[in-house]
Amino acid sequence: MIRSLIFDLDGTLVDTEPLRARSHAQALAALDSGAIDKAQVVEACKRFVGVSHEAVLNGILRSFGVEDAARRRMTEFGVNEPWQVLLALDLRYYTAMLRDPVIMQRAQFRQALSVLRRVRQHGFLTGLATMSAAELAFLILEILGLRAAFDCVVTSEDVVHGKPHPEVFLLAAKRLHVQPQECLVVEDSVPGVRSALAAGMCCVAVPNDYSRPAFVGLECPNSLCVVSQADGLEAAVQRMVAERASAVGHSESR
């Protein structure tokens, strides 16, 4: 039976993917003296949804050929890798957006937050498993008043391997003191879905505008439900929980 729901953060509970794309574009433009087409950067970010910031930033540096520009500034920023230069620039813009209450109120995915509140009311354990850095994840939770909504939070600093490796979800289950098969994951990206399934969990996926293209043609096993519209999330979660409860009851009656 499902005892716990584990939520992704970016793109699932809050619509931060466009904000991250904008901050990446601004950081890249600052790195390359404004010669970068910001619209192209925003579009390129759609190829890197759901993976670690290191993978995203390395991908962007390679895509726009500015690795050498970043490497020349490593000493200035006191870092050891080119992607860390871009990260330092990126955080200036991204953090400013996160601290804007108007932006963050608009960025909430209200259907997903409603599901979070409802499952808490029904006694389910809740976890957060995100590839965001702890500082950013907790900042978002604090601004939206969600810190107390989770029994555990796992961030990129807690794991060695990012999604689609299952480590982040397996660690969340361990901290929640439940078995992986007792967990239902709510995700928005294909790497997140693959991570959840590899962990032996079932998953409800709600693609957003950034992650939706990657779901085209994706094989859907019985442990995965892909919801085309956000307003269908709650029904999908209820159905998945009920199906697992029914399967357990049937097994016990045999």
Could you read off the pLDDT of 103-134 as tens digits, one per residue?
A: 998 999 999 999 999 999 999 999 999 999 89
CATH of the domain spanning 4-15+107-253, picked from 3.40.50.1000, 3.30.300.10, 3.90.180.10, 3.30.465.10:
3.40.50.1000
Rounded to whole angstroms, the Cα distance separating 56 from 131 reads 11
Q: Which residue would you say has higher pLDDT here, 83 or 50?
A: 83
Pairing of strands 202-205, 183-187: parallel
Question: What local confidence, expressed as pLDDT, does residue 118 receive?
Answer: 96
Rounded to whole angstroms, the Cα distance separating 54 from 70 reads 14
Query: Is residue 198 within 8 Å of residue 164, measured between CB atoms?
Result: yes
Average pLDDT of the chain is 92
Counting Cβ atoms within 10 Å, is residue 145 exposed (0-12), middle (13-18) or buried (19+)? exposed
Residue 52 has pLDDT above 90, yes or no: no
pLDDT in tens, 185-217: 999 999 999 999 999 999 999 999 889 999 999
Please compute the mean of the pLDDT values over residues 21-31 and round it to a whole number: 90
Residue 42 has pLDDT above 90, yes or no: no
Token pair of 214 as six digits: 């990657």
Those residues whose C-beta lies under 8 Å from the C-beta of residue 247, and which sit 6 or more positions away, are none
Burial 68-95 (b: 16+ CB within 10 A, else e): ebbeeeeeeeebeebbbbbbbbbbebbe
The model's pTM:
0.87
Question: What local confidence, expressed as pLDDT, does residue 254 receive?
Answer: 53
- N-term to C-term CA, the chain: 16
